[in-house]
A and B are shown apart, each in its own frame.
Chain A
Amino acid sequence: MPTSSAESASKGHLLVTGLSAGYGGTPIIEDIDLEVRSGEVATIVGPNGAGKSTLVKALIGVIRPFTGRIELDGDNLAGLRADQICRRSVGYVPQVRDTFPRLSVKENLEMGGFTLSRNLCRQRVDEVLELYPKLAQMADRQGGHLSGGERKMLAVARALMTRPSLVVLDEPTAGLAPKVADELLSEQVTALAKRGVSVLMVEQRAREALSISDHAFVMASGRVVLRDRAATILARPDIGEVFLGRTAGLVN
């Protein structure tokens, strides 16, 4: 994305404080503090049921947080609806149902630019297709006819339509073949950060994800139990235990 580095350097700073959220009054995640600085890649890892998906849903407005603040460059997003948060410079790449299956690749991108003016949307479709020549070749193909890797590429491209300063990815490699998954992380996700977009992702392939991340947050039982530089967490000897889901030793 042709964004000037001066502009991006100051944008995309996410600060989450004291966030609690859940369903029907029962909190699934409690008192979450997170920070993603401009142009950084931050990864949230943790066992199944740790509340990672709930956290993502609260961040992008699919569920309403009970308490806490979600500040993006000082703008509080907590309590806004998903379509409003989308207008506040947050791009989102969902986990499995990531593209509109009966819309063409081009139409999928247009939906990503729904909040833009018609002309700007058209212009951005061309720009994004230039950025992803592979998608440009299949511009008229239906979303449902793409491979898993192509769909994920389309979902990332669609999230870029509004030139967000933060992109949230929910388990981007879920359901992808290992080789495709590694490419997605090492090429596409890092390319986002290189363009100055902050990235917050939840990921199961923890080792691969941490190796491309600046910071990492380990979640267990609805809380962030460990936060550090990704490299530091990767180097910890008890890391295997964390990713196998045995986190008891970490809580204190």
Chain B
Amino acid sequence: MHQIILSIGFGIVTASILSMGAVGFTLQFGVTNLFNLAFGDVMTIAAFVAYVVHNDAGASIWLALAAGGAAGMLSSVLIARLIYLPFMQRGTSQFAMVMVTVAVSIVFNNVLQIFSGTGFYGYALLPQASVHILGMVFTPRELVIIALAVVCMAGLHLLFKYTRIGKAMRATSDDASLARTCGIPTNRVTNFAWLASGLLCGLAGVALAMDLGTFSATTGGSFLLVIVAAAVFGSVGEPYGAMVGALVIGVASELAAVISPDLKDVVAFGLLVVVLLVRPEGLRSGRVQIRGEVTR
């Protein structure tokens, strides 16, 4: 029993990181209709930027986290505008666009390896005394990551519900051409979506590297599959679904690790398959329209 409660604690930390990643990923798909598989590599870029800021420049890890978030925003917007947009303007099909994102992912991954080598990196962090909460054990840094995820999710909720740009993002996600005829400049809305999702992507990348202890050029890419699982679990394109997906998959996979660490991914993807069997379009199915056209 004690072990299970401990694992729930680990699960909450994993779910926090996963939620930032999954919501960022799903936001990109929801607004731009682009299934961006280079997402994981942008996470890795952010982790390395934070490494340079913290280990090399000597700034605090929280400043490094912020720098990672900024790096995520900048890289996402640049990739979208410089690489994806020219393809979309040529009318590249949605399936071909997925392959473009795979190509970007592979190129980024290899360029990162040229600079980083195949070695592992870790932030120079001092050990911290752990904090006990309801039988769960966290380090103060983990508590900050959990708080950060909660703040991000609450912030997104407020953005979607109460701000003009947030509502315009939902409108664009619902029907981009209708949004345009309402006078909504959808190109500005998609730029904003790339910025917001890039921020989440960068924060998730640094948080993941902190949580794992060590990371390499392939860390983000290998975590991407779990992110996609959480996003698809909650119906891809649906931010609230992705939050639920992240929580369920994060906690369930850590619980499975009680039996054997090898079961983590088995349980995560097993759950995904079960959800897709019951609701073929994910938890919040029927709420997302898969469109053929990519929104610029």
Contacts and interface: CB of A to CB of B under 8 A. Distances in A.
Contacts of B177: 62, 82
A194 interface: no
Contacts of B287: 102
B171 A83 contact: no
A212 interface: no
A206 interface: no
A166 to B, nearest CB: 14
Contacts of A60: 181
B157 to A, nearest CB: 14
B178 A94 contact: yes
Interface in A97-153: 97-103, 107, 110-112, 114-115, 118
A86 B180 CA distance: 9
A100 B183 contact: no
B interface secondary structure, majority: helix
B174 A114 contact: no
B170 A114 contact: no
B171 to A, nearest CB: 5
B180 A83 contact: yes
Given A94-B178, A97-B175, A102-B287, A83 B170 contact: no
Contact of B182 (A62, A81, A97, A112): A112
Contact of B178 (A61, A87, A100, A118): A100
A110 B181 CA distance: 13
A61 B185 CA distance: 13
A210 to B, nearest CB: 26
Contacts of B273: none
Nearest to A118: B164
Given A83-B185, A102-B287, A118-B164, A111 B180 contact: no
Interface in B134-180: 164, 167-168, 170-171, 173-175, 177-180
Contacts of B185: 83
B171 A103 contact: yes
B184 interface: yes
Nearest to B184: A114
Contact of A100 (B174, B180, B186): B174
Contacts of B182: 83, 86, 111-112, 114, 158
Interface residues of A, number: 26
B171 A115 contact: no
Nearest to A121: B164
B181 A111 contact: no
A115 B164 CA distance: 11
Nearest to B180: A82
Contacts of A94: 178, 181
Given A83-B183, A83-B184, A162-B183, A98 B178 contact: yes
Given A100-B170, A110-B167, A115 B183 contact: yes
Contact of A97 (B171, B178, B183): B178
A114 B168 contact: yes
A92 interface: yes
Given A111-B171, A118-B164, 17 more contacts: A60-B181, A82-B177, A83-B183, A86-B181, A86-B182, A86-B183, A87-B183, A100-B170, A102-B170, A102-B173, A102-B174, A102-B287, A103-B167, A111-B168, A111-B182, A111-B184, A114-B184
